[in-house]
Amino acid sequence: MIAAGSFFAFLAAGVPISFALILLALVYIAVTGNWILLQSFPQQFFGGMENYGLLALPLFILLGEFMNAGGIGRRLMTLALAMLGQMRGGLAYVNLVANMMMASILGSTVAQITIMSRIAVPEMERAGYPKDVSVAITAAGGLLAPIIPPSMMFIIFGVIAQLPIGDLFIAGIVPGVMMFTGFVLVVMYLGRKHSFPATPPMALRERGRAVWNALPAALIPIVIVGTILGGIATPTEAAAIAAAAAAFIGLFIYREMTWRQILPAFVSAGKGSAVVLFLIAAAQVFSWVITFENLPAMVAAWMQSLTTSPVVFLLMLNVLLLLLGMVVDPIPAIILIVPVFLPVAQGVYGIDPFQFGVIICLNLTLGLLTPPVGTGLFTAALMSGVRAERIARLIMPFLLSITLVLILLAFFPSLSIALKDAL
C-alpha cells in the first residue's frame, strides 16, 4: 500500500515514469524488509532488456529517421494522389491513403504526424481546404501508425507478453483496415459538411510519372511485410534491411539525403529508442515486484466479483484504458497494464492474448490525441500553428469511429485472430 502510494506520488510530481517504476521496486523492498532482493536487482534490470525482439525498436526508429530525411513521404503522397483520381475531397482521402502507406513503414504516431503535417497540410491548404480540418485529418491519420504493421507498440507488447512479434503484426492488419474504413466514412461526412473542393485533374502522363517516382518508396513496405511473412527475416532484420533501403533510396535515387545526415540519424534514433528501452527495463523490475505482491491475483479476484463475461471485462478494460491513456503516454501505459491484466484476461476470462494486445494498443493510441496529455495532438498543433483545443474538437468524429472499432473487437475475437491463424 505504501509502495503503491509512493509510486503515484512520484508519478504526479513529474518523476520520469521509468524512474518511478524503479523507485517503486526499491520502496517495496524497503517496506517488506526483503533486502535479499537487492542482490538480484541489477541483474533483473539488465536482464529486462536482454531480448532479441526489442532490437526491432531502434531499427524501426532508424528507418523513420532515414525516411524523414530521404523525401520518401512526399513521393507516397503523390502516389496516393495519382491513384485516387478526381473526386470531391480527393486530397482528404489522399491524406488518409498516404498515412496508411506511411503507417506500413513507420511505427510511431508522433513521427508520422511530424512528417505528414509538413507534407499534407500545406498541400490541402493550398487547394482550399480549411486548415484546421486538414490538421485534424492528418492527426487522425497518424493513429494508423501504431496499428498497421510495423508497430512500435506491438513490439513492446510482444516483448512483455512474450508473443511472436511477426504474428502480432499480422493480427493488427484487419483492425487497421477497419480503422482506415472508419476514417474514410468520417472524411465523407466532413467533406459534405465543409464542402471540400475536388482534386484538380491530373494528366495521364503526370500520373504515370508519379507512380514511377514513388516505386522505390513503395518498395519499402513491401520489403518489410514480405520478408517477415516469407520467413526470410525476423522483424528486427526486416527493419535493418528496410533502413538500408531507405538510406540508399534517399542518397542515390531521390538524392534528397546527404552523407552528412547519416550519422545524426543514427544518434537521434539511438536517443529516441534509449528512453523507451530504459522504460522497458524499468517495467521488468516493476513486474518482478508485482509478482511478489501478487497484484494480478488480487485484480483477478476483484474483477471476477464484478463480472464473469469476457466481453464485459474487455469493455470495462477499454474504459480504464481510455482514462489511463488520457494522462499517460501509450508505451508506459502498456508497460503498466499488461503485466497486471494479461494474466487476468488469459487465466480468468480465456481471452486470446492477440485480441487483448490489439485492443490495448488501439485503445491507448486514442490517448495520443486527447487532452490533457496528448503527445500527438500537441505535435500536430506545434507543426501547424492551429490551437490544440480546436484540433481536439475536430478529431472527435475520428475518435468515435475508433471507439466503435474497439467495441467490435471486444465482441468478435476473430477480427484480431483469424488472419494470423490463416497465414
Partner 1 sequence: MQTHIQADSHGGWLARCSAVLAKGESFVIGALMVSIFGLLMLNVISRAMGQPVIWVDELAVYLMIWVALVGASLALAKREHLAVTLVPDLLQPTGRRMLSRMVDLLLFVFFLILSAILWRWFDPLTLLRAGSVTAFTRETFNFLYQEPTVTLGVSKIWFWLILPIFCLTGLIHTAAHLMRAGQGAS
377 contributes a contact to partner 1 by CB under 8 A: no
Q: Are 155 and 56 in contact (CB under 8 A)?
A: yes
Among 82, 94, 279, 285, binds partner 1 (CB under 8 A): 279
Among 3, 11, 77, 383, binds partner 1 (CB under 8 A): 11
Q: Output phi, psi for 195, to 5 deg.
A: 35, 75
Residue 173 within binding range of partner 1, rule CB under 8 A: no
Distance in Å from the first CA to the final CA of the chain: 46
Rule CB under 8 A: choose which of 1, 36, 204, 263 binds partner 1: 263
For position 412 contacting partner 1 by CB under 8 A, the verdict is: no
Contact in structure between 78 and 213 (CB atoms under 8 Å): yes
Measured from the CB of residue 387, what is the shortest distance to partner 1 in angstroms? Answer: 16
Nearer to partner 1, 24 or 419 (CB): 24
219 near partner 1, judged by CB under 8 A: no
Cell of 197: 473542393
- Residues in region 21-50 near partner 1 by CB under 8 A: 22-23, 26, 38-39, 41-42, 45-46, 49-50
Task: Name the nearest CA neighbour of 403 among 315, 327, 330, 324.
Answer: 315
Work out how close the CB of 48 gets to partner 1 at its nearest, in angstroms, rounded to a whole number.
9
Of residues 3, 24, 25, 54, which one binds partner 1 by CB under 8 A?
Answer: 54
**Number of neighbouring beta carbons within 10 Å of residue 208:** 11
Q: Is residue 164 within the footprint of partner 1 (CB under 8 A)? A: no
Q: Is residue 231 close enough to count as binding partner 1 by CB under 8 A? A: no
Reduce the secondary structure of 25-39 to three states and give it as a string. Answer: HHHHHHHHCCCCHHH
Q: Does 312 bind partner 1 (CB under 8 A)?
A: no
Q: Which residues contact 139 (CB under 8 A, 6 or more apart)?
A: 113, 117, 369, 376, 377, 380, 391, 395
Distances (CA, A) of 168 to 99, 101, 410, 417: 20, 19, 17, 9
Q: Does 421 bind partner 1 (CB under 8 A)?
A: no
- Asked whether 356 and 346 are in contact (CB, 8 A), the reply is yes
Residues near partner 1 (CB under 8 A) are 10-19, 22-23, 26, 38-39, 41-42, 45-46, 49-52, 54-55, 58-59, 62, 233, 236-237, 240-241, 243-244, 263-264, 266-267, 269-271, 273-275, 277-279, 281, 327-329, 331-332, 372-373
